[in-house]
A and B are shown apart, each in its own frame.
Chain A
């Protein structure tokens, strides 16, 4: 009886999720999360590596890169889970056609907001409230535009399709990084 109950619950949960997000949707959303986080992480690695070369040997250097990739993967997963949770919390029919495009643009906007937030903090500028307000307004505007203009929705989706391949590349290197980190900590 318990087994039946568990499988029924599992079936309902899977159905609940599938009603809202298809397999492709998951891939698009994951790519949208992975892309900015990894690009930023890798760009910074290029800045860090010359200073690491001062005192790390090759193995340690690979280890340093591996940690950065693992941290990027964890960050990607957190953002991905956040976006997916948002979709699951929304009513099934609301934004059903354009949520994925919206979430891709939303993640990009949040990335810009987060980077500007960091920049302002470093520069000692106190525009944080204004920045958050601007971010909320731009996300709202994005939702409005995407919901009204179907062509924009399709355009974003078709661009996102090209970038999904990068997500697989990132996942591959992240998993290699994870294995290296695990090995170093055994």
Chain B
């Protein structure tokens, strides 16, 4: 190389610096001390464990999750805290059951006590950078209430292709209330909204814009783009954004990332369309009093196929994140949690999770935890609850577990054996006032092999108990409440005592 050429090449060197820097996604300075591992919680909304292949579902819905499972503890009997986003997610955040944190209703937040008793407040020491994001505005409302404990509170609009909401664009400081009012003013699904002109005009504009967007994306998403609550997004963009952010968040970090799929509408990507049109039929079950689906069981089975194909999309994108974490050695210094806030249902003429029932498809959610340098899979069959996640993460990061936490450290991380007689609870009370005792609610109690479900305060279905032996009857077909009277009476007594205990503070309020 002559001098002239050498100078030419040398003059280009400064321009290569940014490229070199960007090709290394994790700056060395951010490498963390293994004593303070990062915590990455990945939540996919409405993902039922019963539709996940690693839990024995006959359709191969999550092959990439199986790869992640090879280095994780896999919980086979893990329950959510409730049957929809608000109570389920709040239980993950606070390590308490819905009857304690009281985020019972759609769009509600926890009591003010838990605004400073949650996963973010507990990780407030040791310079953890705390990050919260969700596509789901109900979760965004919850994150908003914990904002003082978050270094980064990311709004859905940052990652969305389209976000029609004013609340997360204009009223960023008051997103919870603004969203609730806006939701009723413009977007009440299935009902006439509070506005006269804005709703139909904006609705028509939205329809037009969505059609244009769908035209653009029809090749990739033949069933429509993923979206909910007037927010349109793709998981590809979200995962790309996470990958990009992972390199920039100062470590150690606690990052809670809550993605909407596979929540309905089930708009999967083209390569997953028609993957599960097989002859398989789920176990037939009788219609329930709370049936909410008026089509045939075949149509409900078709919804299940759409859902399963949407899970394939979730899995494919999670697989991409898993590969990135693996290739960039994040598993050496990061606790990675994979879970969901609640499940989804396609039986008994009940569709999705908008129901007062608490059957297994709705409350059984996946939980996988990978701790730094974990290299083998461990299968845990003991019943566990989402309230256990917070104490487990605190334990794994060397923190003390606060007294108010209702969960316990999960096996195999706990030094103590799990109590075999431990009862777990799932609470659904979306029509019950936050500050009142549980008057209209469904509560499930799981103890060993048994699951007791109690319906209280529903017109035509009040004071009804159902009891199932999950070991012998995992499909919950044989209600043994009337036949196994001894077990039934014992469990009923325990459940009613627990409800009385949890109602007490609110009875006092009522009395006052």
Contact = CB atoms under 8 A, between A and B. Distances in A.
Interface stretch (B358-366, B399-407, B428-436): B428-436
B173, B200, B431 — most chain A CB neighbours (10 Å): B200
B173 A54 contact: no
B190 interface: yes
B193 A55 contact: no
Interface in B361-399: none
A77 to B, nearest CB: 11
Which 7 residue pairs of A and B lie closest in terms of their CB atoms, listed nearest first?
Answer: A67-B181, A55-B108, A44-B194, A55-B434, A184-B174, A54-B433, A71-B185
Contacts of A114: 196-197, 200
Contacts of A129: none
Contact of B432 (A52, A54, A185): A54
Interface in A53-94: 53-55, 60, 63-64, 67-68, 71-72, 75, 78-79
Given A54-B432, A185-B171, 5 more contacts: A44-B193, A44-B194, A54-B104, A54-B433, A71-B195
Interface string B96-110: 000000011101110
Interface string B145-188: 00000000000000000000000000111100110111011100
Contacts of A37: 195-197
B191 interface: yes
Given A48-B194, A185-B174, A118 B180 contact: no
A47 to B, nearest CB: 9
A115 B191 CA distance: 11
B328 interface: no
B302 to A, nearest CB: 19
B356 to A, nearest CB: 15
Given A68-B184, A185-B174, A55 B197 contact: no
Interface residues of B, number: 34
A122 interface: yes
A45 interface: yes
A79 B197 CA distance: 8
B197, B200, B431 — most chain A CB neighbours (10 Å): B197
A34 to B, nearest CB: 11
Contact of B177 (A44, A45, A53, A63): A63
A71 B200 contact: no
B432 A64 contact: no
A67 B180 CA distance: 9
Contacts of A144: none
A115 B192 CA distance: 8
Interface residues of A, number: 35
Contact of B174 (A63, A72, A79): A63
Contacts of B174: 63, 181, 184-185
A71 B172 CA distance: 16
Interface in A96-149: 110-111, 114-115, 117-119, 121-122
B412 interface: no
B203 interface: yes
Contact of B182 (A53, A55, A67, A78): A67
Nearest to B432: A54
Contacts of A54: 104-105, 108, 431-434
Interface of B: 103-105, 107-109, 171-174, 177-178, 180-182, 184-186, 190-200, 203, 431-434
Looking at chain B's contact residues, the main secondary structure is loop
B171, B174, B181, B191 — most chain A CB neighbours (10 Å): B181
Contacts of B200: 114, 117-118, 121
Nearest to B191: A122
Contacts of B103: 55
22 contacts: A40-B196, A44-B184, A44-B193, A44-B194, A53-B433, A55-B105, A55-B108, A55-B109, A67-B177, A67-B178, A72-B194, A75-B196, A78-B197, A110-B197, A114-B200, A118-B193, A119-B192, A121-B200, A122-B190, A122-B191, A185-B171, A185-B178
Nearest to A117: B200
Given A54-B108, A54-B434, A71-B185, A64 B180 contact: yes
Looking at chain A's contact residues, the main secondary structure is helix
B105, B178, B203 — most chain A CB neighbours (10 Å): B178
A75 to B, nearest CB: 5
B173 A185 contact: yes
Nearest to B430: A54
Nearest to B185: A71
A118 B192 contact: yes
B196 A64 contact: no
B454 to A, nearest CB: 20
Interface string A130-170: 00000000000000000000000000000000000000000
A14 interface: no
Nearest to B109: A55
Nearest to A69: B181
A132 to B, nearest CB: 11
Nearest to A119: B192
Given A41-B194, A68-B184, A115-B192, A121 B203 contact: yes
B460 to A, nearest CB: 21
Contacts of B185: 41, 67-68, 71
B181 A68 contact: yes
Contacts of B172: 185
Contacts of B105: 51, 54-55
Nearest to A66: B181
A110 B198 CA distance: 12
Contacts of B191: 122
Contacts of A119: 192
A63 B173 CA distance: 13
Nearest to A110: B197
Nearest to B198: A75
A54, A60, A78 — most chain B CB neighbours (10 Å): A54
A85 to B, nearest CB: 15
A71 B192 contact: no
Contacts of B107: 55
Given A55-B104, A55-B108, A55-B434, A122 B196 contact: no
Contacts of A121: 200, 203
A111 B177 contact: no
